[in-house]
């Protein structure tokens, strides 16, 4: 795939003027690793002509400063990187702007002038986000993505050969004065006031019982304090504004004034008061757990996946309105929605990374086909995705299918940067643990009683309490269902399994069928913002099969007694009201 291709993998172009290791460079390198972890994207690094060699960029394809940023799919800018790109490029190429410092909000700083340029801004702390937002100059969304630790930070050493380590690079005179006084009190103390290799810095943290980390007066985040917590140290760190998310006085560390006497006093408190020390150790552990790389990567991927052209995964309960959602989304300009175009059983044996690669390649193939042929693979009726794959006519107790083909015509695409949505209820639900880490994923759910009743006459495997596509991709689900001889028990177990997937992996990206109906489809704007314009005449089918008889009451009772995960999205009263009103 050539650079600048509109197809997968999308290129994400970074810029750096590297003349020595800094925390800012390390964080950019972390984001490069996030991009590299997703086969849908590839990172490219444009280095200035005066940049020094570094292994930080080993995960990137390296290009020179004369590389044309217009050829990239996404630009990732930090610090003064805006100076390396043409004016108004953000009108043609999406920009993600990492903000790591408070000085971006200072009117006399050159970075301040960049706030008016269109971008999605990722701030490493709440304080940074509040600072730049308060300027009133930000052009585009401002999000907080708490800075994560690097994997090599999570290695606390049980043997502590040093009492105190002082990270004093930003306040060397103060660090040396504190060290001298603590040594005078008989403590074993070391201080670092010059740049050292990162591995050496982390090693000194792991050797110390207490870490005194000295920030500048105003920091955007101040990672050393969090690194010291991850290393298992008791931390002393003065206030630096941007460190207030992680440094909570008396809970995760002690926060004295940046004065010799106060810093020494805090160290002695930690050495002498076991209760204070215990509380801080526990609080620091909780704080560290919130800053693992996976959380930062997941939030960033949500932002990256939202840049056009988007590849969207849609899943949901069988018979919950996922096909209706595809049909409605496919009406929108520059949106193509595919109804179960893949063959789940043929790829069920793939491991997680192989499965993701296959989905990425399929998206790419469909984009190529849409561009060259104006068609795409999808279950269809007369060349379109129907609103319901099943008709109302019933033959031999089963509803007749509204599907007569496997291709749709695509006539609503005017730009190569169109959104492409692909829907598979069972397979994608089973694979959500890996899909949600990579793709823009959404789910559709429906009143659980309505779903169970709909399954009974669907003519699908769910009518017998099985889902071959889901079971083939999740052997544990298959084993669970095999152990249940009763059909209704299997159906409720399968239903709850699916609801649990959406609760665990898409808690904020799950849309209720009832909301789609009541808004005329506009609720799908959570998937594609343009859907807010939908005003379709839709009617709920929830009560279609609800008959107030012993059979329905039995199903409702078993559902209320045995289901668990569905109540994350629905209340039990939603089921009771259907039975009582049936």
- Return the pLDDT at 5: 41
State yes or no: pLDDT of 327 exceeds 80: yes
Query: Is the same domain home to 111 and 258?
Result: no
Which has more pLDDT, 299 or 151?
A: 299
State yes or no: pLDDT of 377 exceeds 90: yes
Query: Is the same domain home to 120 and 171?
Result: no
DSSP state of 450: H
Q: What is the C-alpha separation between 411 and 373, in angstroms, rounded?
A: 11
Question: CA torsion, points 107, 111, 116, 117, in degrees to nearest 10?
Answer: 170
Which CATH number covers residue 286?
A: 3.40.50.2000
State yes or no: pLDDT of 391 exceeds 70: no
Question: Residue 43 to residues 15, 53, 99, 328: CA-CA distances in angstroms?
Answer: 11, 18, 19, 34
Answer whether residue 429 is part of any domain. yes
The whole-angstrom distance between residue 69's C-alpha and the CA centroid of its chain comes to 26
Query: 395 falls in which pLDDT band (50, 70, 90)?
Result: low
- Return the pLDDT at 155: 64
Q: State which of 83, 113, 144 marks the end of a domain.
A: 144
Question: Residue 293 to residues 145, 310, 526: CA-CA distances in angstroms?
Answer: 11, 24, 26
State yes or no: pLDDT of 4 exceeds 90: no
Q: What is the C-alpha separation between 96 and 119, in angstroms, rounded?
A: 6
pLDDT tens for each residue of 57-113: 998 999 988 888 998 999 999 999 999 999 999 999 999 999 999 999 999 999 999
DSSP state of 114: G
Residue spans of beta strands (DSSP E) within 156-303: 162-167, 189-192, 208-213, 234-236
Answer whether residue 457 is part of any domain. yes
CA atoms 368, 369, 375, 379: torsion sign: negative
| Tally of residues, the chain | 582
- Return the pLDDT at 431: 98
The mean pLDDT of the chain is: 91
Query: Is the same domain home to 199 and 344?
Result: no
State yes or no: pLDDT of 8 exceeds 60: no
Query: Is the same domain home to 269 and 318?
Result: no
Domain encompassing residue 137: 10-144
Query: Is the same domain home to 321 and 264?
Result: no
CA atoms 345, 349, 350, 351: torsion sign: positive
Highest mean pLDDT among 54-68, 383-397, 518-532: 518-532
For residues 166 and 240, the answer to whether their CB atoms sit within 8 Å is no
SS3 for 323-383 is HHHHHHHCCCCCEEEEECCCCHHHHCCCCHHHHHHHHHHHHHHHHHHHHHHCEEEEEEECC
Answer whether residue 296 is part of any domain. no
State yes or no: pLDDT of 294 exceeds 90: no
For residues 127 and 246, the answer to whether their CB atoms sit within 8 Å is no
What mean pLDDT comes out for the span 377-402?
76
- Return the pLDDT at 387: 82
Please enumerate in sequence order all residues whose Cβ is within 8 A of that of 79, keeping only pairs 6 or more positions apart, or say none. Answer: 24, 100, 111
- Return the pLDDT at 396: 63
What angle, rounded to 10 degrees, do the helices at 223-230 and 274-289 form? Answer: 110
For residues 11 and 63, the answer to whether their CB atoms sit within 8 Å is no
Question: Residue 73 to residues 13, 81, 121, 334, 544: CA-CA distances in angstroms?
Answer: 8, 17, 17, 17, 47
Query: 7 falls in which pLDDT band (50, 70, 90)?
Result: very low
Query: Is the same domain home to 436 and 406?
Result: yes
Answer whether residue 299 is part of any domain. no
Which residue has tokens 């649990």? 500
Q: What is the C-alpha separation between 7 and 214, in angstroms, rounded?
A: 47
Q: Give the three-state DSSP class for 142.
A: strand
Query: Apex CA 349: angle with CA 566 and CA 313, to 5°?
Result: 45
Query: Is the same domain home to 113 and 166?
Result: no
Tokens representing 499 are 């609801």
Q: State which of 127, 144, 161 marks the end of a domain.
A: 144
pLDDT tens for each residue of 19-44: 888 888 999 999 999 999 888 899 99
Answer whether residue 279 is part of any domain. yes
Answer whether residue 297 is part of any domain. no
Q: What is the C-alpha separation between 60 and 42, in angstroms, rounded?
A: 8
- Return the pLDDT at 153: 60
- Return the pLDDT at 390: 66
Please enumerate in sequence order all residues whose Cβ is within 8 A of that of 85, keeping only pairs 6 or more positions apart, or say none. Answer: 15, 69, 75, 77
Answer whether residue 532 is part of any domain. yes
Answer whether residue 303 is part of any domain. no
State yes or no: pLDDT of 531 exceeds 70: yes
- What total number of domains does the chain contain? 3
Print burial letters for 518-533: b (CB count within 10 Å at least 16), e (below 16). ebbbbbbebbbebbee
- Return the pLDDT at 541: 84
Q: What is the C-alpha separation between 319 and 253, in angstroms, rounded?
A: 52
pLDDT tens for each residue of 160-172: 889 999 999 999 9
- Return the pLDDT at 392: 63
Q: State which of 244, 259, 291 marks the end of a domain.
A: 291
Please enumerate in sequence order all residues whose Cβ is within 8 A of that of 421, keeping only pairs 6 or more positions apart, or say none. Answer: 312, 313, 314, 326, 329, 335, 336, 337, 338, 527, 528
Per DSSP, the residues of 46-110 read EE-TTPPP-GGGTTSEEE-TT--GGG-SEEEEETTGGGGS-TTGGGTS-EEEEE--GGGG-TTSG
Query: Is the same domain home to 183 and 313?
Result: no
- Return the pLDDT at 129: 95
Which CATH number covers residue 534?
A: 3.40.50
Query: 2 falls in which pLDDT band (50, 70, 90)?
Result: very low
Share of the chain above pLDDT 90, in %: 74
Share of the chain above pLDDT 70, in %: 95
Q: Residue 224 phi/psi, 5° resolution?
A: -55, -35
Query: Apex CA 444: angle with CA 442 and CA 445, to 5°?
Result: 135
Q: What is the C-alpha separation between 47 and 61, in angstroms, rounded?
A: 11
Question: CA torsion, points 538, 539, 540, 543, in degrees to nearest 10?
Answer: -160
Which residue has tokens 């460190």? 243
Q: What is the C-alpha separation between 263 and 269, in angstroms, rounded?
A: 10
Question: Is the bond preceding residue 309 a cis peptide, omega within 30 degrees?
Answer: yes
Specify which residues 144 forms β-bridges with: 123
Query: Is the same domain home to 337 and 486?
Result: yes
DSSP state of 425: H
Query: Is the same domain home to 489 and 573?
Result: yes
Which CATH number covers residue 111?
A: 3.40.50.11720
Query: Is the same domain home to 467 and 351?
Result: yes
- Return the pLDDT at 459: 81
Q: What is the C-alpha separation between 117 and 95, in angstroms, rounded?
A: 9
Query: Is the same domain home to 52 and 195?
Result: no
Which residue has tokens 């033959």? 395
Query: 156 falls in which pLDDT band (50, 70, 90)?
Result: low
């Amino acid at each position: 795939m050539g650079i600048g291709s509109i197809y997968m993998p999308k290129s994400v172009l970074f810029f750096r003027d590297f003349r020595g290791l800094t925390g800012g460079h390390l964080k950019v390198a972390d984001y490069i690793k996030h991009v590299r972890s997703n086969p849908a994207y590839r990172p490219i690094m444009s280095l200035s002509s005066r940049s020094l060699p570094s292994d930080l960029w080993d995960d990137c394809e390296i290009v020179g400063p004369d590389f044309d940023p217009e050829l990239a799919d996404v630009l990732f800018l930090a610090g003064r990187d805006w100076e390396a790109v043409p004016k108004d490029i953000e009108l043609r190429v999406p920009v993600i702007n990492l903000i790591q410092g408070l000085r971006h909000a200072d009117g006399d700083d050159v970075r301040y002038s960049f706030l008016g340029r269109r971008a999605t801004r990722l701030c490493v702390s709440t304080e940074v986000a509040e600072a730049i937002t308060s300027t009133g100059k930000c052009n585009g969304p401002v999000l907080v993505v708490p800075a994560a630790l690097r994997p090599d930070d999570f290695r606390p050493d049980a043997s502590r050969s040093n009492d105190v380590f002082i990270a004093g690079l930003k306040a060397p005179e103060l660090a040396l004065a504190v060290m001298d006084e603590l040594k005078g009190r008989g403590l074993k103390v070391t201080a670092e006031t010059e740049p050292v290799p990162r591995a050496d810095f982390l090693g000194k943290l792991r050797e110390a019982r207490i870490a005194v980390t000295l920030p500048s007066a105003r920091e955007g985040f101040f990672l050393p304090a969090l690194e010291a917590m991850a290393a298992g140290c008791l931390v002393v760190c003065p206030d630096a504004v941007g460190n207030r998310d992680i440094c909570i006085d008396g809970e995760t560390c002690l926060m004295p004034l940046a004065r010799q006497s106060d810093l020494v006093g805090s160290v002695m408190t930690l050495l002498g008061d076991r209760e204070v020390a215990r509380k801080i150790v526990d609080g620091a552990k909780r704080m560290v757990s919130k800053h693992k790389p996976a959380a930062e990567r997941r939030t960033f991927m949500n932002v990256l996946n939202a840049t056009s052209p988007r590849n969207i995964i849609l899943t949901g309960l069988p018979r919950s309105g996922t096909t209706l959602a595809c049909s409605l989304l496919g009406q929108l300009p520059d949106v193509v929605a595919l109804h179960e175009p893949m063959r789940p059983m043929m790829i069920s044996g793939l491991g997680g990374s192989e499965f993701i690669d296959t989905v990425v390649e399929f998206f790419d193939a469909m984009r190529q086909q849409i561009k060259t042929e104006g068609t795409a693979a999808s279950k269809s009726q007369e060349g379109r995705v129907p609103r319901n794959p099943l008709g109302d006519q019933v033959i031999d107790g089963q509803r007749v299918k509204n599907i007569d083909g496997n291709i749709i015509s695509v006539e609503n695409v005017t730009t190569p940067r169109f959104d492409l949505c692909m829907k598979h209820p069972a397979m994608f639900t089973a694979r959500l643990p890996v899909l949600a880490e990579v793709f823009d994923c959404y789910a559709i759910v429906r009143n659980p009683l309505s779903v169970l009743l709909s399954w009974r006459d669907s003519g699908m495997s769910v009518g017998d309490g099985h889902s071959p596509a889901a079971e083939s991709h999740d052997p544990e689900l298959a084993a669970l269902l095999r152990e249940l001889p009763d059909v209704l028990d299997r159906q409720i177990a399968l239903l709850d399994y699916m609801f649990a997937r959406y609760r665990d992996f898409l808690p904020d990206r799950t849309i209720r069928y009832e909301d789609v109906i009541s808004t005329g489809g506009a609720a799908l704007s959570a998937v594609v913002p343009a859907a807010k314009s939908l005003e379709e005449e839709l009617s709920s089918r929830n009560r279609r099969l609800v008959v107030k008889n012993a059979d329905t009451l039995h199903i409702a009772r078993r559902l209320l007694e045995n289901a668990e995960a569905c109540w994350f999205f629905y209340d039990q009263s939603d089921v009771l009201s259907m039975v009582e009103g049936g």
